[in-house]
Structure 1
Amino acid sequence: MLDEITETYEEMAREISKREPLLIVAPKNVGSTVNYQLSTINSNDTWARDHGFITLVDDQGDARLLDFCFNGWGEKFESELDNAINRRIYDEGKVKGEYVDCLDFVLEGGSIESDGQGTIFTTSCCLLAPHRNQPMTKAEIEARLKRDLCSERVLWIDYGHLVGDDTDGHIDTLVRIAPNDTLLYIGCDDETDEHYEDLKKMEEQLKTFRTMAGKPYKLVKLPMPRAIFDEGERLPATYANYLILNGAVLVPTYNQPDLDAEALKLIGEAHEGREVVGIDCRSIIKQHGSLHCCTMQYPKL
């Protein structure tokens, strides 16, 4: 199992390092042939998306590195080591910008999507879940998001959850923002699938959303991978957990040629001008995450 995961990470690292600098956080030198920087730091888990800095860049090109609290997705798992990584890589000079202490508020990078123009998308089942920011109310949480992320509004998605997901419904497994006011979302056409009803409700809610200009979003439905199981447990496989790079998009695939090809095509069309690269994520999904979950991007300054 470890060899399979290592092979997948090697492939992902190779594709990233072709296009932009790569920083790897690991407890020891990983001995890879890929060109990367290394920060030797112990961690609890592998999901950089959720404990990494959330970065804001202003009109002058200056960055603010927001260090939110990560508490293991609502105190489900140990997180003390992960929660210390941001400060370490900042002190080492591996990331540049103004450090902003937001550790009094729990927020995971996978739980939000931003269009960069004033709108934040999130899911109520995650941000309002127990053991995150209680006793704060929804209105108080929304106000905090708008303040810290310099946003004008928050659109809350009230439906959608993948079986096997430990995060309480991260948006990066369900709905992603693309150029030209496009939302890519996971759909389910199989009425016998346990996701069908909830994802249908999510689809209907997305149809009610409007852009800042008052126009409907362009909706693109991604296929739902056929059920994948590990030791009798269904895994949260999704094509929405893709990673956008400079000039490319890395898309998780699951050895389901017809659905993989459909997802690659739809994501490529939505992100026109970027090379679309499929990465077999059957090993990573056994850990209940995928490409977007285990990475976090930082701006070039």
Structure 2
Amino acid sequence: MANRLFPEWHQQDAVQLTWPGADSDWAPMLSRIEATLERMVTAIARYQQVLISVADTATRERLAATFTQLGVPAQRLRLYVVPSDDSWARDHGPIGIERDGRLTLLDYRFTGWGGKFPAARDDALNRALADQGVFAAPLESQALVLEGGAIESDGEGTLLTTEACLLNQNRNPALDRAAIEARLGEDFGVTRVLWLAHGHLEGDDTDSHVDTLARFCDPQTIAYVRCDDPEDAHYAALSAMEDELKALRQADGSPYRLIPLPWPRPCFDPEDGHRLPATYANFLIINGAVLVPVYGDAADSTALAALATAFPERDLVPIDCHEVIRQHGSLHCLTMQLPKGSLAAAHLAGAASHDACNDADNDATADVQE
């Protein structure tokens, strides 16, 4: 069977989010992170559907009312009650591949980034959604531990990742580099794995996920974090990563077009003062737009200008992610794109859904489910 890992710019049905619950680590700042997520949902819904798993029926009903007030079309919103541990959908959401011309969703094991945090409910979340009839594409459970933020695909057989994550003994200790590459080739149809040996962000719990450091913008272009402050603790590692990226070659032997992203001023936790992982590389590509994390920093405009050169035909939508980095991730980490063909036609659940469905456009229908 011929497999292909979709790039993020492949046409999407929706973006998947996992709404934080009152029993999560977000509890002390729940209203503030909800405000950020509301801005994200409102922005995404201008372009495509948003699928949100929530902790309970009361939250589902509250969010349905909130987004109605915010002007989000009912046909662009899907709400499902599914328990979760945290909100990092990038790492517990399904990964879409093409297999012999048909979409399949792969459900890898999620262990809280190598057992750092509780993750049993997050690990079961995709199966719970599938059991509710959410997905049109088959969902296949995988024994491999793998997070979506750990891999970048160009859609043409090349995968970009980091040694610090995929070769970490806290994920798949029985597999060495050759075995990991073989598995990635089998699952994703990749013929080349590009490994970064350097690069990290203080405050990052993921063991250097590549989506915080370097990202494919198209098959020829990589945007990456560059530190220009020799006094910063990140300078040596990120300079070494930059040298690695300059040495990488495309399949035809040509160098990549590299787009450096600026280094914001250090952000620190207001309670204990530890450094937070602010990065402009954690952007999200959706249908017709790119959502870009910003931090109220002078470098925000520089980052937006740099990414505009990478995505000249897409809208750039800045999202303030000050609150997101308090829990050691950023915008991309909160999301998982679902490729076109992922979602089943919406189920009708009462008069409100039926009325919304009457107004739906051809590519999206209302869905309010438990």
Alignment correspondent of 2:33: 5
CA distance in 1, matches of 2:51, 2:124: 16
> Counterparts of 1:92-131 in structure 2 under 5 Å?
92-102=132-142, 104-131=143-170
- CA shift at 1:118, angstroms? 0.1
C-alpha distance after superposition, 1:239-259 (max 9, x if no partner): 000011110000000001x20
> Do the aligned residues in 2 keep the contact of 1:161 with 1:195 (CA within 8 Å)?
yes
Moved more, 121-130 or 162-171: 121-130
Which structure has the bigger radius of gyration?
2
CA distance in 2, matches of 1:167, 1:234: 15
- CA shift at 1:100, angstroms? 1.8
- CA shift at 1:76, angstroms? 0.5
- CA shift at 1:59, angstroms? 6.4
Q: Secondary structure at the match of 1:65?
A: strand
Alignment correspondent of 2:186: 147
Alignment correspondent of 2:16: none
- CA shift at 1:130, angstroms? 2.4
> Counterparts of 1:52-91 in structure 2 under 5 Å?
52-58=93-99, 60=101, 62-91=102-131
Opposite residue 254 of structure 2, the aligned amino acid is: K
Moved more, 30-39 or 276-285: 30-39
Alignment correspondent of 2:8: none
CA distance in 2, matches of 1:111, 1:204: 20
Moved more, 72-81 or 264-273: 264-273
Unaligned runs of 5+ in 1: none
1:281 to 298, 314, 321: 321
> Do the aligned residues in 1 keep the contact of 2:152 with 2:159 (CA within 8 Å)?
yes
* Aligned CA-pair RMSD: 1.1
- CA shift at 1:224, angstroms? 1.4
Opposite residue 112 of structure 2, the aligned amino acid is: G
Q: Secondary structure at the match of 1:116?
A: coil
Opposite residue 95 of structure 1, the aligned amino acid is: F
Alignment correspondent of 2:90: 49
Residue correspondences, number: 298
Alignment correspondent of 1:18: 46
2:303 to 263, 282, 292: 263
Opposite residue 41 of structure 1, the aligned amino acid is: V
Q: Secondary structure at the match of 1:250?
A: strand
- 1:248 lines up with 2:255 in the alignment: no
> Do the aligned residues in 2 keep the contact of 1:95 with 1:298 (CA within 8 Å)?
no
Opposite residue 27 of structure 1, the aligned amino acid is: A
Unaligned runs of 5+ in 2: 1-28, 342-370
C-alpha distance after superposition, 1:163-203 (max 9, x if no partner): 00000000000000012501100000100000000000000
After superposition, the Cα gap between the structure-2 partners of 1:180 and 1:137, relative to the gap in structure 1 and judged at 3 Å, is: closer
Alignment correspondent of 2:226: 187
- 1:138 lines up with 2:177 in the alignment: yes
- CA shift at 1:90, angstroms? 1.4
> Do the aligned residues in 2 keep the contact of 1:186 with 1:199 (CA within 8 Å)?
yes
> Do the aligned residues in 2 keep the contact of 1:125 with 1:169 (CA within 8 Å)?
yes
- CA shift at 1:58, angstroms? 4.6
- 1:239 lines up with 2:239 in the alignment: no
Identity value in percent: 48
4+ residue stretches of structure 1 with deviation over 6 A?
none
Give the TM-score, by structure 2 length: 0.79
> Counterparts of 1:204-215 in structure 2 under 5 Å?
204-215=243-254
- CA shift at 1:91, angstroms? 1.9
Q: Secondary structure at the match of 1:43?
A: coil
Q: Secondary structure at the match of 1:126?
A: helix
> Do the aligned residues in 2 keep the contact of 1:71 with 1:78 (CA within 8 Å)?
yes
> Do the aligned residues in 2 keep the contact of 1:43 with 1:82 (CA within 8 Å)?
yes
- CA shift at 1:98, angstroms? 2.1
CA distance in 2, matches of 1:26, 1:101: 22
